[in-house]
């Protein structure tokens, strides 16, 4: 079943059209990846789903309900959470406060405490540093915190923007393992935007290739990684 | 061990020399000299010169001490000597060169001050001796162990402050004591020694016993700390409320000053919510102060026939809620257009808004409604039955209550859900939105809360003055309030109080400052940002960020390093 569906979405920054009509569907319980180069429109797609950008045309449906009429915080309340690009943690708040901010839309104290423990089980390093200012964490830890913070809202869909950006290869592996685990163990639906197509296709079920605002190809992860065109353009082969 | 840092000492000496020459020629020294600090010994102008020497000599000594301990003293003395020599040259050349034609402040009186009331060679010798001695003293300070140095420096500073604030203390103290300690413009020599000895003892004890006591209190379990905390709060509250009764009639002047400081504290608490908590840089904050004041004025004055024909004259208590409402609404109205702007752009828009309000109240066009350039008179005073507020003491209570309300609001909001949302928006607005914070409502509440407190402050201000003119609402007020936040420590509530006393109270007490207020302001702010960027009484978070844990920026690996590229 389609949990999230994007229909013929067109988004423009002033006169420049960033998305020239893209359509994609995210099925419940899958990892869907959106791969493409710089400026292809990946981040724009995520920001539009989160309500940060208003489309010129097209529609976004969540469980059949159009999201366009909602404001960003209402979309978060519906269970769609965005992990922004570049590990944007609240630098001058502690790790714990960052996680609490993630649960901003919730008010069930017990549930929040329980979820915080879950995040700490997932990322034990965050527990050690729970009273440290987030700005003093290492890059990998900040990315863990950004993911943990998003999980605190108990999302239905996780929108992840380039979690591998600026991280050392070994950390990228670790983060991607976590993403896979979240999907497999908790059944979380994930829309993963990545430039690192190789890694993304390893953990995703299906994928879309986006180029200059248009969907160029789509298929299962396996199909895409064996597709000669994808191999040439994105996998360095 | 290296050689004596001769060149460096001379360099600092020249720097100090330029500073003291500047202060002499712009007229600060002469203006400040009207106030004596210690009778027949030192005036404020001379103190200013000596302080400049002390600071630079201390810096030079600190560097020289690495070579040899004694060099610290020599280096300090040399700094004083060089700066003193420059001043001596100035003092001697003023008359023969006719410098007064160029520098209006190069007066014979200045020469007299610089030469410590002597003439010719004797004067020069005295100047050089004092300056060299000051420099050497700064060097000696560097050599003292911190345990001795700190009480000494604090005692000196406290004594000088007591000398400077003669107008307060001489009035407050019983007559006989006051006669013994103070003259008509400063300390007596006996007063100087008494205060020095007293503070010396106090600070020495503080360094040893006080610090230990503090540590012991801190190590108590929180449950036992709380009653202590409440006791100290209660003591402060009792003192604040009791002060007018203790001082009686003698306190009029003090309360006049406290009222002004208090009005700024209320504004500071409001702006602290906008800038400190929510991080929205508002440079037009005076607008809300003006709106509160003008609403109070227009609604309660018997003048302004055009308005009176429509709205009946109100009392203070009837007009107060309307003044608050007006400023709250104006906060929201300003908030809406600036929602999408950030940082610098927001600052410029709010700056413009402040100017619009000021020009509107000044305009002839709105004169029938707002009084134009003449302002409004006959504003209502607060009343209770037959009693009405008239003395500064009476308004002091109103202001105290308003400050208490401001504190209460700030404390409650700071760690609330809304306070967290403000903090998140201050840190990173995009991410805050992504976390589900309604940034529109969050920002508007910050603007509205801040504006309401400014309006409250303005309404009390209008009632206190009884009459009001548009020039009371210029840009400088916005800047003053912002500066007091920065000096006190952004986001810190006690910081607002400390900042208001430092930036509003002190200049009010040292009337000589008035002309040089901006100069002193500027210098104080520059010094603050360099030496204590977190403010005088900062939030703990701010200290952590600036001092203990530098925020790491992890380097981003170069492109192409990502795995998977074969």
Q: Can you list the domains of chain A with their CATH numbers?
A: 30-51+71-234 (3.40.50.300)
Tokens of B73: 């003293």
Mutant choice from B422, B429, B434, B491 vs A, greatest count of A C-beta within 10 A: B434
pLDDT for B542 equals 65
Which of A72, A196, A237 is closest, CB to CB, to B433?
Answer: A72
Contact by Cβ (8 Å): B492, B268: no
Q: Does A136 touch chain B (CB under 8 A)?
A: yes
**For A70, left (φ over 0), alpha (ψ -120 to 50), or beta?**
beta
pLDDT for B512 equals 64
Q: Does B540 touch chain A (CB under 8 A)?
A: no
Counting as low any pLDDT under 70, the low residues of chain A are: 1, 237
pLDDT for A180 equals 94
Interface of B with A in 427-486 (CB under 8 A): 427-428, 430-440
Query: CA-based angle A136:A137:A140, to the nearest 5?
Result: 150
Q: How far apart are CA A225 and CA A197, in angstroms?
A: 9
pLDDT digit string (tens) for A217-232? 999 999 999 999 888 8
Question: What is the reported pTM?
Answer: 0.84
Q: Work out how many CB contacts closer than 8 A connect A with B.
A: 112
Which of B424, B438, B541 is closest, CB to CB, to A101?
Answer: B424
Contact by Cβ (8 Å): A41, A213: yes
Query: Which residues of chain B lie closer than 8 angstroms to A104, CB-CB?
Result: 417, 420-421, 424, 435-437
B566 contacts A101? CB cut-off 8 A: no
Q: Does B420 touch chain A (CB under 8 A)?
A: yes
Determine phi and psi for B184, rounding to 5 degrees.
Answer: -75, -15
Mutant choice from A101, A162, A174, A203 vs B, greatest count of B C-beta within 10 A: A101
Contact by Cβ (8 Å): A74, A136: no
Q: How far apart are CA B174 and CA B196, in angstroms?
A: 20
Helices B286-300 + B439-465 axis angle, to 10: 50
Residue percentage of chain A with pLDDT more than 70: 99
Bridge pairing between strands A65-66 and A16-27: unpaired
pLDDT for A149 equals 95
pLDDT for A191 equals 96
- Nearest chain A residue to B415 by CA: give it: A97
pLDDT for B552 equals 43
Beta strands in A171-212, from DSSP E residues, in sequence order: 189-194, 206-211
pLDDT for B351 equals 92
pLDDT by residue for chain B (566 residues), tens only, comes to: 467 888 888 999 999 999 999 888 888 888 888 777 787 778 888 888 898 899 889 888 888 888 888 888 899 999 999 999 999 998 888 888 888 888 888 888 888 888 888 888 888 998 899 999 999 988 888 888 888 888 888 888 888 888 877 877 787 777 888 888 888 778 888 888 888 899 888 888 888 887 888 888 878 777 777 888 888 889 988 988 888 888 777 778 889 989 999 999 999 999 999 999 999 999 999 999 999 999 999 999 988 888 888 888 899 999 999 999 999 999 999 888 887 787 788 899 999 999 999 999 998 888 888 888 888 999 999 988 888 888 888 899 999 999 999 999 999 999 899 999 999 999 999 899 999 999 999 999 999 999 999 999 999 999 999 988 888 898 989 999 999 999 888 889 999 999 999 888 887 777 666 677 777 777 777 888 887 778 888 877 666 666 654 444 444 443 333 333 33
Interface of A with B in 2-61 (CB under 8 A): 50, 52
- B481 to chain A, closest Cα gap in Å: 24
Query: Which residues of chain B lie closer than 8 angstroms to A136, CB-CB?
Result: 549-552
Q: Does A222 touch chain B (CB under 8 A)?
A: no
Q: Using only the alpha carbons of chain A, give its radius of gyration.
A: 17
Which of B417, B436, B544 is closest, CB to CB, to A133?
Answer: B544
Interface of A with B in 97-126 (CB under 8 A): 97, 100-102, 104-105
Q: Does A231 touch chain B (CB under 8 A)?
A: no
Tokens of B353: 């808004």
């Amino acid at each position: 079943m389609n949990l999230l569906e994007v229909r013929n979405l067109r988004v423009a920054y002033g006169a420049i059209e960033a998305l020239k009509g893209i359509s994609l569907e995210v099925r419940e319980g899958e990892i869907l990846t959106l791969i493409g180069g710089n400026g292809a429109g990946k981040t724009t797609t995520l920001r539009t789903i989160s309500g940060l950008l208003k489309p010129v045309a097209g529609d976004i449906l969540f469980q059949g309900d159009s999201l366009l009429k909602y404001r960003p915080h209402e979309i978060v309340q519906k269970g769609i959470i965005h992990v922004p690009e570049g590990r944007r943690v609240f630098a001058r708040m502690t790790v714990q406060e960052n996680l609490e901010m993630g649960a901003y839309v919730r008010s069930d104290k017990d549930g929040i405490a329980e979820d915080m423990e879950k995040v700490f089980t997932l990322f034990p390093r965050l527990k050690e540093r729970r009273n440290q200012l987030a700005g003093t964490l290492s890059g990998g830890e900040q990315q863990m915190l950004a993911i943990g913070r998003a999980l605190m809202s108990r999302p239905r869909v996780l929108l992840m923007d380039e979690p591998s950006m600026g991280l050392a290869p070994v950390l990228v592996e670790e983060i991607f393992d976590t993403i896979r685990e979240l999907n497999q163990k908790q059944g979380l639906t994930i829309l993963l935007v990545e430039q690192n197509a190789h890694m993304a296709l390893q953990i995703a079920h299906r994928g879309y290739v986006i180029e200059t605002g248009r969907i160029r190809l789509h298929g299962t992860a396996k199909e895409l990684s064996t597709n000669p065109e994808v191999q040439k353009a994105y996998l360095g082969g | 061990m290296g050689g004596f840092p001769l060149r460096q000492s001379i360099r600092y000496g020249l720097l100090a020399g330029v500073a003291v020459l500047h202060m002499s020629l712009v007229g600060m020294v002469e203006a400040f000299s009207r106030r004596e600090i210690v009778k027949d010994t030192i005036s404020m102008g001379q103190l200013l010169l000596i302080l400049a020497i002390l600071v630079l000599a201390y810096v030079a000594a600190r560097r020289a001490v690495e070579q040899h301990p004694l060099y610290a003293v020599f280096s300090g003395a040399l700094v004083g000597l060089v700066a003193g020599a420059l001043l001596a040259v100035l003092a001697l050349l003023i008359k023969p060169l006719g410098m007064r034609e160029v520098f209006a402040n190069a007066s014979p009186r200045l020469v007299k001050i610089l030469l410590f009331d002597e003439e010719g060679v004797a004067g020069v010798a005295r100047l050089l001796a004092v300056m060299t001695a000051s420099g050497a003293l700064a060097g000696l300070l560097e050599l003292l162990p911190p345990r001795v140095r700190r009480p000494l420096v604090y005692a000196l500073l406290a004594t000088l402050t007591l000398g400077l604030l003669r107008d307060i203390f001489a009035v407050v103290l019983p007559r006989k004591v006051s006669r013994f300690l103070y003259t008509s413009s400063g300390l007596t020599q006996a007063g100087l020694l008494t205060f020095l000895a007293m503070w010396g003892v106090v600070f020495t004890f503080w360094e040893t016993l006080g610090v230990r006591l503090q540590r012991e209190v801190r190590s108590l379990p929180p449950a036992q700390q709380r009653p202590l905390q409440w006791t100290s709060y209660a003591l402060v509250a009792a003192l604040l409320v009791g002060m007018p009764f203790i001082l009686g009639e003698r306190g009029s002047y003090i309360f006049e000053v406290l009222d002004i400081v208090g009005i700024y504290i209320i504004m500071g608490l409001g702006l602290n919510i906008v800038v400190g908590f929510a991080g929205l840089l508002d440079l037009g904050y005076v607008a809300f102060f003006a709106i509160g004041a003008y609403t109070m004025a227009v609604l309660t004055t018997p003048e302004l026939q055009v308005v009176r024909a429509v709205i009946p004259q109100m009392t203070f208590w009837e007009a107060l809620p309307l003044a608050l409402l007006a400023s709250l609404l104006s906060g929201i109205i300003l908030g809406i257009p600036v929602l999408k702007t950030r940082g610098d752009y927001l600052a410029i828009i709010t700056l413009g808004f402040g100017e619009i309000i000021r020009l509107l109240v000044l305009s002839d066009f709105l004169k029938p409604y707002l009084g134009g350039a003449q302002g409004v008179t006959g504003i209502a005073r607060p009343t209770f039955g037959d009693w009405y507020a008239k003395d500064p003491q009476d308004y002091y209570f109103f202001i105290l209550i308003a400050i208490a309300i401001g504190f209460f609001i700030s404390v409650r909001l700071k760690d609330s859900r809304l306070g967290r949302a403000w903090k998140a928006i201050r840190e990173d607005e995009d991410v805050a939105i992504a976390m589900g914070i309604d940034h529109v409502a969050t920002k508007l509440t910050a603007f509205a809360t801040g504006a309401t407190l400014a309006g409250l402050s303005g309404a009390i201000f209008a009632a206190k003055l009884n009459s009001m003119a548009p020039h009371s609402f210029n840009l400088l007020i916005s800047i003053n309030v912002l500066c007091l936040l920065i000096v006190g420590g952004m986001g810190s509530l006690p910081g607002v109080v400390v900042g208001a006393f430092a930036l509003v109270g002190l200049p009010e007490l040292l009337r000589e400052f008035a002309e040089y207020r901006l100069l002193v302001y500027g210098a104080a702010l520059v010094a603050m940002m360099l030496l204590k960027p977190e403010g005088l009484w900062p939030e703990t978070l701010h200290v952590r960020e600036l001092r203990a844990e530098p925020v790491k920026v992890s380097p981003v690996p170069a492109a192409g390093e990502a795995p998977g590229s074969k």
